[in-house]
Amino acid sequence: MNLSRRQILVLLPAAAIAWKSVLAGEPETSPNYTMTDHWWGMLIDIPKCIGCGNCVRACQAENDVPDGYFRTWVERYHVTDENMTTPEVISPDGGKEGFPSAEEDAGKYFFVPKLCNHCADSPCTQVCPVGATFVSPDGVVLVDQTYCLGCAYCVQACPYGCRYVHPTKKVADKCTLCYHRITKGLTTACAENCPTGARQLVDLKNPKDPIHVFLKTHSVQILKPQMATGAKVYYNDLDGSVR
């Protein structure tokens, strides 16, 4: 077969594209799970949280989170009459092993579990220069770790401090809302292991989800609403001093 220079110039790119399609194969899909049927979020019932740290330990075990890094953590607030705007906040090792005993005195104590807010209009995904982090069609903010450069723009952009650069993988890492569990019909590891039901996975597209009644009947707040992030972690009975 004799090919002219011109024919080769046309055929080579065509062959390259054909070969590329063969290599890529079909995209993976989870059976029995339709992304467009769900819109995930979480409900955190502050008065139920006892600060045991079960969620933090469960998250580490489920997601292989390195020591000293947290996809979820628990903060303890101590608010007195004098420090309403600057409350004392502690979170020893993310609250993983619980908290030191608190003495009854002036003011109030409460626990605030934190995690990625899975914002509908997330600041972190907007700054990614390569499209490695995104809001999935079912409302979960995920990181494509094979595509991430590790530039940490998203770490800076998150107003809630929920991202970190993984110390060995050198790519952005964060709460996936246990995406590998919720797509199989399980709840998240943190909600599964919460002994008091202070954390509940909610599906806002499911009309039977109790969240709809809960939102109508309770005083529910999101964190930093002034930033218009569309956060989907709902806090029941959240104190105004929480930042």
Partner 1 sequence: MNLFKDTGHLLRFAALFVIAFLLFWAIRGFVVPRTFGQYGHYRGAAIGEIASRPAQYAGHDACETCHSDVLDLKKAGRHAHVNCEACHGAQAKHAADPGTFTPAKLDTATLCVRCHSISAARPKNFPQVNVADHANGVPCETCHQPHSPAIGASPAVTGGAK
Q: Does 99 bind partner 1 (CB under 8 A)?
A: yes
40 binds partner 1 (CB under 8 A): no
102 touches partner 1 by CB under 8 A:
yes
Give the Cα-Cα-Cα angle 79, 214, 56 (nearest 5 degrees): 55
Closest CA to 200 of 210, 209, 191, 190: 191
CA distance 99 to 115: 18
Structure tokens at 33: 């799970």
Using rule CB under 8 A, residue 83 touches partner 1: no
Residue 197 in the binding site for partner 1 (CB under 8 A): yes
Number of Cβ within a 10 Å radius of residue 184: 12
Q: Which of residues 175-194 bind partner 1 (CB under 8 A)?
A: 176, 178-181, 183-184, 186-187, 189, 192-194
- Whether the CB-CB separation of 192 and 199 falls below 8 Å is answered with no
Q: How far apart are CA 55 and CA 33, in angstroms?
A: 26
Smallest separation, CB 32 to partner 1 (Å)? 12
The answer to the question of residue 29 lying near partner 1 (CB under 8 A) is: yes
Please count the other Cβ atoms lying within 10 Å of the Cβ belonging to residue 142: 18
Is residue 233 a contact residue for partner 1 (CB under 8 A)? no
- Beta carbon of residue 65, minimum distance to partner 1 (angstroms, whole number): 12
Site size with partner 1, rule: CB under 8 A: 66
Dihedral angle sign, alpha carbons of residues 64, 173, 191, 86: positive
Interface residues with partner 1 (CB under 8 A)? 9-10, 12-13, 16-17, 20-21, 24, 27-30, 33, 35, 47-54, 58, 61-62, 76, 78, 97-99, 101-105, 109-111, 131-137, 142, 144, 146-147, 176, 178-181, 183-184, 186-187, 189, 192-197
